[in-house]
């Protein structure tokens, strides 16, 4: 054997190959009762976003694009009167759901895996007969790959330029899609390489006020879906897309430990175990201050007209995150959902924390209070993050009183709350009976012979596409 051949044999496999092998090797034993329930809850949460946001005005252009601009195919998109091509369906499903501004969150990376992984899987259901267990294992693989990529790639400096969901989403989508389609290792690795080229998602929306962020997870889902389908047909992508000299790790300045994280075997805990659900449609970094403000108004009767000053303290990542420190002027609901001063001021003025807070853009009382608010980082809260998200809200009144409330950690938004919200949102679009049927079906996914039944229940006035091969 030549020296060149010996060297080639001894070369370590690409990092992507290790990621792909772990994804393809996932077996039923990974779907413990608790993890299956968590994945089902994540799916219900994504569907509640999809149904809850469907009638919102900013989703009208997406539905119009689905009707007239994206072509026809087998994939189902609620609200679109015909089937769509898979990659465009993944884009639409994700972007429509993102309009709710409350999708699930992976705190270690501040990514939104539900907006990427499930649209990809739902869009591919017409491409291959897959069981409900296949669907869940695809979801587990996608959450794991996206979560690990997030831990490896997301840095404080990078987060000021790139949004985690757009940066890491193509990795999660490609892995989930490859797993569901049953690709072999070389094809799955090519899917990862092709999708990795779509990593991005700039943070300029936080400075311009435009709603670009709603389309970034959608672009990741579209890229991963298309990459998996192209790889199935033989398209080749860079196998070194992760660790190569111009790969993702080098390009985005990953920490030295990133390679070990991506190469490590899967097992024990999974990234989906860390996923949390949002109670309200507000930036993850504005939540702690919002709930501290709600605690204050629940404890004290506050006349907003008597507030002379408002001070907010929280952890540094929240203070520094683009858009979170904006005191105004706030021009639209998206800016309001990002702004800590606006969110806190809206709670103090309206006396509540719900969707109505972010429809109150233009309320002069909220605008005045937000503009006068001071926002600072707290060293103790910095040390507690990300294990805990903390905040303190203090107001000074014109009679000399000072009122304050502090939050030690975000309140739990648990399974029953997620399910109740799904029922409410789904019933408004599908009707109570069909919503109940869909919830029951999600609860039976692990034993479902054909996951395409999910798409059948999502179908609402959608004509049948070509027969599935």
CATH code (residue 87): 1.10.4100.10
DSSP secondary structure letters along 345-377: HHHHHHS--SGGGGG-TT-HHHHHHHHH-EEEE
Predicted structure pTM score: 0.89
Q: How confident is the model at residue 141 (pLDDT cuts 50, 70, 90)?
A: very high
Calculate mean pLDDT across residues 220-233: 98
CATH number, domain containing residue 345:
3.30.1330.120
Same domain, 78 and 207: yes
Q: Number of structural domains, the chain?
A: 2
Report residue 341's pLDDT band, with 50, 70 and 90 as the boundaries.
Answer: very high
pLDDT of residue 443 exceeding 50? yes
> Above 90 in pLDDT, residue 77?
yes
Task: Note whether 275 and 106 are within 8 A (CB).
Answer: yes
Task: Flag whether 457 is in a domain.
Answer: no
How open is the CA angle 141-180-100, to the nearest 5 degrees?
70
What pLDDT score was predicted for residue 9?
A: 55
- My answer on whether 318 and 245 are in the same domain is no
Contact 216, 249 (CB under 8 A): no
**Residue 72 forms part of a structural domain:** yes
What proportion of the chain, given as a percentage, has pLDDT over 70? 96
* 355: nearest Cα among 48, 25, 52: 52
Q: What is the mean pLDDT of residues 195-206?
A: 93
Per the DSSP assignment, residues forming a β-bridge with 105 are 276
Tell me if 118 is assigned to some domain.
Answer: yes
Confidence of residue 157 (pLDDT cuts 50, 70, 90): confident
Residues 185 and 211 in one domain: yes
What local confidence, expressed as pLDDT, does residue 1 receive? 46
Q: Is 296 found in the same domain as 395? A: yes
In a domain, 346, yes or no: yes
Rounded Cα–Cα distance for residues 238 and 195 (Å) = 10
Q: What is the pLDDT of residue 464?
A: 40
Measured CA to CA, the distance from residue 395 to residue 361 in angstroms comes to 21
Task: Indicate the DSSP class of residue 405.
Answer: E
Residue 35, pLDDT > 70, answer yes
Say yes or no to pLDDT of 181 above 50.
Answer: yes
Give the per-residue pLDDT at 241: 96
What range does the domain containing 296 cover?
Answer: 284-407
Read off the pLDDT of each residue in 333-351 and give the average, rounded to a whole number.
93
The residues, any chain, with a CB within 8 Å of residue 95's CB and separated by 6 or more, are: 59, 62, 214, 215, 217, 218
> Which token pair is 404?
């304050």
Residues with Cβ < 8 Å from 324, sequence gap 6 or more? 283, 285, 286, 318, 338, 339, 340
pLDDT tens-digit series, residues 249-301: 999 988 888 999 999 999 878 999 999 999 888 888 999 999 999 999 999 88
pLDDT at 462 over 60: no
267 domain-assigned: yes
In whole angstroms, how far apart are CA 314 and each of 319, 388, 394? 7, 11, 12
Using CA atoms, how far apart are residues 429 and 410, in angstroms rounded to an integer?
A: 30
Tell me which of 239, 274, 309 is where a domain ends: 274
Residue 313 and residue 208 share a domain: no
Instruction: Look at residue 46 and tell me whether its pLDDT is greater than 90.
Output: yes
pLDDT confidence of residue 270: 96
Over 50: is that where the pLDDT of 199 sits?
A: yes
Give the side-chain half-sphere CA count within 13 A for 456. 7
Q: How many degrees, rounded to 5, is the angle at CA 352 between CA 351 and CA 353?
A: 145
Per-residue confidence at 469, pLDDT binned at 50, 70, 90? very low
361-386 burial, b at 16+ Cβ within 10 Å, e below that, comes to bebebbbebbebbebeebeebeeebe
Q: Do 207 and 310 belong to one domain?
A: no
Q: What is the pLDDT of residues 361-414, one digit of tens each?
A: 989 999 999 999 999 999 999 999 988 999 999 999 999 999 999 999 999 899
109 and 218 share one domain: yes
Taking the C-alpha atoms of residue 108 and residue 386, their distance in angstroms, rounded to an integer, is: 7
Mean pLDDT of the chain: 92
Q: Specify whether 50 is located in the same domain as 68.
A: yes
Q: How many whole angstroms from its chain centre is CA 249?
A: 21
Residues 316, 266 share a domain: no
Residue 1 forms part of a structural domain? no
Are residues 258 and 162 located together in one domain of the fold? yes
Structure tokens at 213: 């962020």
Strand partners, 396: 309, 402
**Tokens standing for residue 281:** 């449609």
Give domain status of residue 348, yes or no: yes
Q: Taking residues 4-21, what's their average pLDDT?
A: 76
Element at 311 (helix H, strand E) = strand 307-314
Cα–Cα distances in Å, from 414 out to 113, 163, 232, 303, 424? Answer: 18, 26, 39, 32, 16
For residue 455, give both structure tokens. Answer: 């798409």
Instruction: Report the alpha-carbon distance of residue 37 to residue 217 in Å, rounded.
Output: 24
- Domain-located, residue 425: no
CA-closest candidate to residue 18, choices 201, 195, 144: 144
Shared-domain flag, residues 143 and 39: yes
Neighbouring residues of 398: CB distance < 8 A, sequence distance ≥ 6: 306, 307, 308
Give the whole-angstrom CA distance, residue 419 versus residue 44. 7
**In a 3-state reduction of DSSP, which class is residue 314?**
strand
Residue with tokens 């879906």: 225
Integer distance in angstroms from the first to the last C-alpha of the chain? Answer: 46
Q: In sequence order, which residues have a C-beta less than 8 Å from that of residue 3 and are 6 or more positions away?
A: none
Residue 226 has pLDDT above 50, yes or no: yes
Residue 223 has pLDDT above 90, yes or no: yes
What does the alpha-carbon distance between residue 339 and residue 326 come to, in Å, rounded to a whole number? 5
Q: Which residues contact 287 (CB under 8 A, 6 or more apart)?
A: 278, 279, 280, 389, 410
**How is residue 240 annotated by DSSP?**
T
* Predicted confidence band of residue 110 (pLDDT cuts 50, 70, 90): confident
The verdict on 367 and 309 lying in the same domain is yes
Q: Among the ranges 119-128, 159-168, 256-265, 426-435, which has the highest mean pLDDT value?
A: 119-128
Distance CA 301, CA 313 (A): 21
């Amino acid at each position: 054997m030549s020296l060149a051949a010996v060297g080639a044999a001894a070369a370590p496999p690409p990092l992507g190959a290790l990621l792909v092998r772990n994804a393809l090797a996932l077996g039923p034993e990974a779907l413990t009762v608790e993890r299956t329930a968590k994945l089902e809850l994540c799916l219900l949460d994504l569907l509640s976003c999809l149904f809850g946001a469907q009638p919102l005005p900013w989703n009208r252009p997406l539905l119009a694009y689905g009707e007239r601009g994206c072509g026809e195919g087998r994939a189902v998109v609620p609200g679109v009167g015909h089937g769509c091509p898979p990659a465009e369906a993944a884009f639409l499903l994700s972007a429509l759901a993102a309009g709710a501004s409350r999708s699930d969150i992976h705190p270690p990376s501040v990514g939104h895996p539900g907006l990427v992984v499930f649209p990809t899987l739902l869009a591919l259901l017409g491409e291959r007969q897959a069981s409900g267990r296949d669907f869940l294992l695809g979801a587990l693989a996608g959450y794991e790959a996206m979560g690990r990529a997030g831990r490896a790639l997301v840095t404080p400096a990078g987060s000021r330029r790139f949004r985690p969901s757009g940066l890491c989403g193509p990795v999660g989508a490609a892995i989930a899609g490859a797993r569901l389609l049953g690709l072999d290792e070389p094809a799955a690795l090519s899917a990862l390489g092709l999708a990795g080229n779509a990593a991005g998602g700039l943070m300029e929306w936080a400075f311009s006020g435009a709603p670009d962020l709603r389309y970034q997870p959608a672009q990741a889902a579209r890229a991963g879906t298309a990459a998996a389908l192209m790889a199935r047909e033989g398209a080749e992508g860079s196998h070194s897309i992760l660790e190569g000299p111009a790969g993702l790790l080098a390009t985005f300045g990953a920490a030295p430990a990133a390679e070990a994280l991506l190469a490590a075997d899967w097992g024990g805990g999974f990234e989906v175990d860390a996923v949390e659900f949002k109670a309200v449609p507000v930036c993850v970094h504005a939540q702690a201050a919002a709930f501290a403000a709600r605690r204050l108004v629940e404890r004290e009767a506050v006349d907003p007209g008597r507030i002379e000053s408002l001070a907010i303290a929280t952890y540094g990542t929240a203070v520094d995150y683009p858009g979170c420190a904006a005191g105004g002027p706030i021009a639209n609901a998206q800016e309001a959902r990002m702004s800590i001063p606006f969110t806190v001021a809206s709670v103090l003025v309206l006396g509540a924390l719900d969707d109505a807070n972010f429809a109150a853009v233009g309320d002069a009382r909220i605008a005045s209070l937000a503009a006068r608010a001071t926002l600072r980082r707290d060293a103790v809260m910095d040390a507690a993050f990300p294990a805990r998200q903390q905040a303190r809200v203090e107001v000074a009144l014109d009679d000399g009183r000072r009122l304050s409330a502090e939050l030690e950690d975000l309140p739990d938004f648990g399974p029953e709350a997620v399910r109740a919200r799904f029922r409410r949102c789904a019933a408004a679009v599908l009707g109570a009976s069909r919503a109940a049927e869909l919830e029951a079906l999600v609860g039976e996914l692990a034993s479902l012979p054909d996951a395409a039944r999910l798409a059948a229940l999502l179908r609402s006035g959608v004509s049948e596409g070509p027969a599935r091969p």
